[in-house]
Each structure stands twice: as structure tokens, then as C-alpha cells.
Amino acid sequence: MRRKFITNLALVLVLNLLTKPFWVLVVDRSVQNAVGTEGFGNYYALFNFSFLLNILLDLGITNYNNRNIAQNQHLVNKHVSSIIVLRMLLAAVFLVVCLTVGLFIGYDFMQLKILFFMAFNQVLISTILYLRSNIAGLHQFKTDSMISVLDRLIMIAICGMLLWGHVTDGNFKIEWYIYAQTAGYALTAFIALIIVIDRVKLKKILWRPVFFIMILKQSYPYAVLALLMTFYTYVGTVMIERLLPDGASQAGIYASANRLLDASNMIAFLFSGLLLPIFARMLKLQQNVEEMVKLAVSLLIVPALIVAFGSYFYQDELMGLLYKHNAGESADVFGILMFCFVAMSSTYIFGTLLTANGNLKQLNIMASLGMVINISLNIFLIPRFKAIGCASASLTTQMLTGLTQVIMVQRIFKFKVNYRFILSLVIFVIGIVLIYIGSRYVSPNWKVSFGVAVASSFVFAFILRLINPKAIKHIIQTE
């Protein structure tokens, strides 16, 4: 299993590193620079609002399905034939609720128009994720990897023409960005559906209300977990836009700071997509998962620490490089937000293991507390500190929930405490802080200093054997 994890992780990382960072750091950033901080902030708040209600589209079915199909592959045809119908019903409910709530909280006609298309995009995204859960559940990771980047490739092509192809005479409009996403998601969903139909030999879809109820009963704990975690991750931006007089502008500043975190999380999220079916299969076969967890920590947490501290020490330079507007204000938020990446990376490992093991009750209690803490902190901090207050609330929540999941895994799985590994991590953190501080004296060109610091940090990880190429090579050759 470790060999399968590493080889498929390498493939999915290569594909995603070639596409998603370009999308976030070039296309998405260029759109914000073209439409302005306030215009993009309004879009970003509406996007996060639609994402908060996203759970109505899925009700935990995707995560339940990923785990269930990985453990019971013979059920895939039976489940797909009926779940597709159920998801159509959920999509209709989601669209109605999304627009109704948007109208209730005071969105104007233009905001509701944008919200409709973004809600429809959420329907397409959720459909793609469900279809991919069947592909991943069958352990066809290479096919899943290809699908994972297809939507971005299509959107890059469309937005590239609109931004730089001189195919229009007027200024770039945020609506074009949304329509490009719709096209990319729709085509990807169609292709993923064709692949699933072929893989599971699907001949017809079935209307089975009793089956729908059974699936919803099985998946609702996953739905509650997803809802709670989504709220404490994304509600802050909506609260910024609603609570502050200059809410759209502050939301735009937060979006600028959050962009590199989004880009990093796109890559880290791939770990959970691979780990969930692998953990589920290993647990069913009663295999020891401790070494897999340690491997995942080495491959994800170590780079996350390098990224987080590098972003903190070079926050002004990185934001100044990316943006024309409000770079200084974004830098202050960015320096705080990027430490969320470490905690969220921990969740992608330990939370995924707990999900695969079926510890949904414990996870839901943790997530409930996380949501209460996050909303309370946002209510207190946003009016006083604006986007910085929201970032501080997010970091506090992510750190607390991430640490809680680590403790839960230790108590449930009774892993032997690896004091040597923990000590190496502590030494590593101290070392990279000193490396980044010292890098300021390397060159007057900050890009050179930053590059030297990042490279030195990875070398230090190799010296401490936190990342061990020989061990990884041995796993690939022997398993």
C-alpha cells in the first residue's frame, strides 16, 4: 500500500503542480488585478457563501462512498445507478435554498445573478467529486489523477484567451471568469461520467426511494462533519463582507492573502484523496497503518512547515510581487494565514485516518467546537481588526482542531510515541527559523535569499532524515 501511495502521489503531484499553481497564481491573480480588490472581494464572498451551503449537494455521500467502495468494490454498480438520481434531487434543493437564503440576507439582483452561476458551478464540482470517489474507490488512481486537473486545463485555456488573447475590446468582467469555470466543470463532469459508466458497466439509473433513505442514513455523519468543517473554514469571509462597512474591500484583501494558502491546499488535499481509500482498505484488512501515517507526515507536514515559515518571513515581498492593489494590507493577513497550512495538512492525514476508521462521532464533536470557536472569534475580532482578525480566528481554530485530531488518533490507535521523530521535528522548526532569519544576509535580491532559504530547509530535512529518499526508494522497489 505504501508503494501504491507513493507512486500515485508522485503522478498526481506532477499533474497538479503543472496546472493548479498556474491557475491560482497566474490566472486567478490576474483576474483580481483586472477587476480590482473590491470587485473580486464581492465575488469571493459570494463564492464562499455558496460553498457554505455546498453540503446540501452531497450530504456526506462522496466521503461515505469513497470509503465504502474501497472496502466493498462489488457494490459500485448498485450504488452508482441510484445515487446519481439522488444527487439530482439534492442539486435542485441546493439551488433553491442557496438563492432563497441569499435573498433573505439582502443580496441585490446582480449579486443573486452571480450567486446562481456560482451555485450551479458548485453542483458541477460536487458531481465531479462524487464521480471521482468511485474511480478512486476502485483504486484507479491514474485515471482519477487525470480527471483532477482536466477542469483547470479547460479554464486556463478559456481565461487565457479572455485575459491575454485580445479577443475582446472591453475590460475583463468577473462574470466571464465565472462562465469559464462553468464550461470547465461541465465538460469535466461529462467526461468523468462517461468513464464511470464504462468502469462500472452502468446500463440504467434507478429510482429507489428506500435505497435513497438508506444511503442518507449511512452518509449523514459525513454530511454533518463536512458542514461543520466548511463553516469554520469559510464563514469568515462571508462575515467580513456582511459585518464591515468596507466589507467587499476587506474580503478582497483577505482573498489576496488566502490565494497562496488555496494553492498550497490544492496540493495537500490530494493526499487525503489518496489516503482515504488506502486507509479504508488497510483497516478492513487489519493492516498496521502507523508507518503509512509517519510517511504521510514526512511528505506533507515537513514541506508545510517550510512553506509556512517562508511565507511569514517574506510576506511583504511575496504579496508585493503578486498584487497591484493593497499589497501591504494583504501581507499582514498572509503572514498569519499561511500557518493554517500546517494545521490543515495535519487534518488531511489524521482526520482522513479517523474518517476511514469510522470515528465520525468524535470528529463531529471536535468540528462543532471548532465552529463555535471560529464564529465567536470572528464576531469579536472582525469589527476590531478586520481581515487580520478573521485570519487570526482561522489560525486559532485550525490549530486547535488539528491538534485535537492528532490526540484522537493517538488514543484510538495506540501508536507508539516516536520521541526521536518528534524531537527531529522540533529541531527542524528551530533550524528553519534560523535559516530564514539568516537568509536575509545572503543577497540584496530577496528572491535569491528566499530561494536559498527554501533549498537549505529541504537539505536540513534530509540531514535530519525527516525526508529519507533511500527509504522511499526502498518502499517503491520492495512492495
In this structure, the answer to whether residues 339 and 460 fall within a common structural domain is no
In this structure, the answer to whether residues 455 and 346 fall within a common structural domain is no
In this structure, the answer to whether residues 105 and 142 fall within a common structural domain is yes
In this structure, the answer to whether residues 93 and 177 fall within a common structural domain is yes
pLDDT for 107 equals 81
- Give residues with Cβ within 8 angstroms of 57, minimum separation 6: 87, 90, 91, 94, 122, 123, 126
Contact 414, 357 (CB under 8 A): no
pLDDT for 404 equals 95
pLDDT for 329 equals 86
Give the integer Cα–Cα distance in Å for 191 and 176.
23
- Give residues with Cβ within 8 angstroms of 116, minimum separation 6: 95, 98, 99
Backbone angles phi, psi at 201, to 5 degrees: 55, 45
In this structure, the answer to whether residues 307 and 425 fall within a common structural domain is no
- pTM of the predicted model, to two decimals? 0.73
In this structure, the answer to whether residues 404 and 435 fall within a common structural domain is no
- Give residues with Cβ within 8 angstroms of 192, minimum separation 6: 127, 128, 131, 132, 135, 147
Final residue belonging to a domain, choices 365, 385, 416: 416
Reading the block at residue 168, the C-alpha cell is 475582446
Contact 218, 50 (CB under 8 A): no
Final residue belonging to a domain, choices 381, 416, 451: 416
Give the domain range for residue 456: 421-479
CA-closest candidate to residue 254, choices 234, 227, 230: 234
Give the DSSP letter string of 362-401.
HHHHHHHHHHHHHHHHHHHHHHHHTHHHHHHHHHHHHHHH
In this structure, the answer to whether residues 290 and 333 fall within a common structural domain is yes
In this structure, the answer to whether residues 411 and 425 fall within a common structural domain is no
Final residue belonging to a domain, choices 416, 449, 464: 416
In this structure, the answer to whether residues 331 and 472 fall within a common structural domain is no
Q: What is the DSSP letter of 325?
A: S
In this structure, the answer to whether residues 436 and 295 fall within a common structural domain is no
pLDDT for 478 equals 42
332 CB-side CA count, 13 A: 11
Per the structure, the count of domains in the chain is 2
Give the integer Cα–Cα distance in Å for 299 and 416.
20
CA-closest candidate to residue 122, choices 187, 175, 47: 47
Give the integer Cα–Cα distance in Å for 122 and 54.
7
Give the integer Cα–Cα distance in Å for 182 and 176.
10
Measured distance between the N- and C-terminal CA atoms of the chain, rounded to whole angstroms: 8
In this structure, the answer to whether residues 461 and 364 fall within a common structural domain is no
Contact 359, 282 (CB under 8 A): no
Region of residue 288 (phi > 0: left; psi between -120 and 50: alpha; otherwise: beta) = beta
Residue 467: strand, helix, or coil: coil
Give ∠ CA 301-305-309 in degrees, rounded to 5. 170
* Successive 10-residue mean pLDDT values, the chain, 479 residues: 58 70 82 81 81 74 65 61 78 90 83 88 88 74 79 90 80 88 93 82 70 74 78 83 85 86 79 77 84 85 94 93 81 94 92 89 92 94 93 95 94 87 93 95 92 95 82 49
In this structure, the answer to whether residues 425 and 411 fall within a common structural domain is no
Contact 338, 312 (CB under 8 A): yes
- Give residues with Cβ within 8 angstroms of 410, minimum separation 6: 417
